[in-house]
Amino acid sequence: MSDYVRLGIVGAGSIALRGHFPHLTLEDVRDRVRITAVCDPVLERAQAAAAKYGVPAAYATMEELLAAGEVDAVSLCSPIGVHYEQGMLAVAHGVHVHFNKSMTTTVDEADRLIDAARARGVKLVSSPGEMLRPRHQKIKQLIAEGALGRLTWAVTGSAFGTYHEDETSVRAGDDPLTNINPAWYFRKPGGGPLYDMTVYGLHAMTGILGPAKRVTAFSGVRVHEREFRGQMLPTDMDDNTLMVLDFGDSFFAFVYGVAAGGLPQMGRPLIFGTGGVINGAAINGAAIDYEGAHLDAEYGLNGSLPHVTGAHRTMEEAHVYEDVMQLVDWILDDTPTVATAEHARHVVEIFDAAYRSAVSGQAQPLRTDF
């Protein structure tokens, strides 16, 4: 391997175009990582991205990209429903993997992926690395020190709304880099707000509070089709899921991933105890003091992430860039990360079990931890 990580981008869609390419082609990262190949089933899109960002090679398939032997690692920017298959393909080639959220759609897939990677010596990093945030590290410390007294309950969640339809920079134009259809977000497997959006709050919640033990849920499809540029997009993946997590000893959390509408003024996550409440960057209404708080205040929640410096602070999807750099550091310096596949597996199991609970009408026990 060279002195830098040769990175392949799998999928030249919204997250790659708004996050990966802009960040990972800046001059300040070239001594650590360089994008050497991109693939997309729409070959013209891969070629256009390669031309715009100076990437040497473009392919239609991941198989072609891996066969060329030009990458040490890949970042999967593809639809969530194909992450398992593509992750296993990378592992089989001995290539390290960064998964954009979520890593897989079932806990059994996550088990097989982690076991295969361990056997091949392949490193896996999975977004979102919520516990890389100094704010969440501080909240975990405050709770451990008893700042909230005895914990009583917590809540987190997200709503789809029309977020993806409204990503105008990649969806409102007519060329391959601006006419990307968001249909997969609403289809099986891998669509829906849980895997795509609630995953952030749940990674933060479980990172701070620890693994959950049981889940029960209601779930279904509420908005059966969506309009995008005059085309009706069918929804067959659940878009309205409400669940309760059991952390043990009668400590519960409410988690939602819904078609539209969220709880107002809710931080990530919202945690209650007999001694008060932590909501976002505040404890009992007062600002939490943590390293980098001034950067988060100026640049948003990504400002204090360790690799997000200089121009990266004002760019979209800086947290994704951070997670990729966690893999780069692990490969080059053998520096492990808290954005682990094991944590991602636990979150995936919660979603997987929630869907099973909604079908069976019974609470589902959870078997993973991290």
Q: What domains, with CATH codes, occur in the chain? A: 5-126 (3.40.50.720), 130-305+340-365 (3.30.360.10)
Q: H-helix or E-strand containing 257?
A: strand 252-258
Position of tokens 């199991």?
349
CA distance 171 to 180: 5
pLDDT reading at 150 higher than 70? yes
pLDDT reading at 89 higher than 90? yes
**pTM for this predicted structure:** 0.97
**H runs (alpha helix) in 121-217:** 134-144, 168-171, 193, 199-209
262: exposed, middle or buried (Cβ count in 10 Å: 0-12, 13-18, 19+): middle
Span 119-134, pLDDT tens digits:
999 999 999 999 999 9
Span 69-79, pLDDT tens digits:
999 999 999 99
Span 234-261, pLDDT tens digits:
999 999 999 999 999 999 999 999 999 9
Span 194-237, pLDDT tens digits:
999 999 999 999 999 999 999 999 999 999 999 999 999 999 99
Across the chain, mean pLDDT equals 98
pLDDT score, position 90: 99
pLDDT score, position 2: 77
Which amino acid belongs to residue 72? Answer: D
Nearest to 242 by CA among 266, 258, 260, 222: 258
pLDDT score, position 102: 98
Tokens of 294: 């001034």
Tokens of 201: 């709050």
44: exposed, middle or buried (Cβ count in 10 Å: 0-12, 13-18, 19+): middle
Span 353-365, pLDDT tens digits:
999 999 999 999 9
pLDDT score, position 312: 98
Position of tokens 């067959």?
236
CA distance 72 to 91: 11
Please report which confidence band the pLDDT of residue 1 belongs to, taking 50, 70 and 90 as the band edges: low
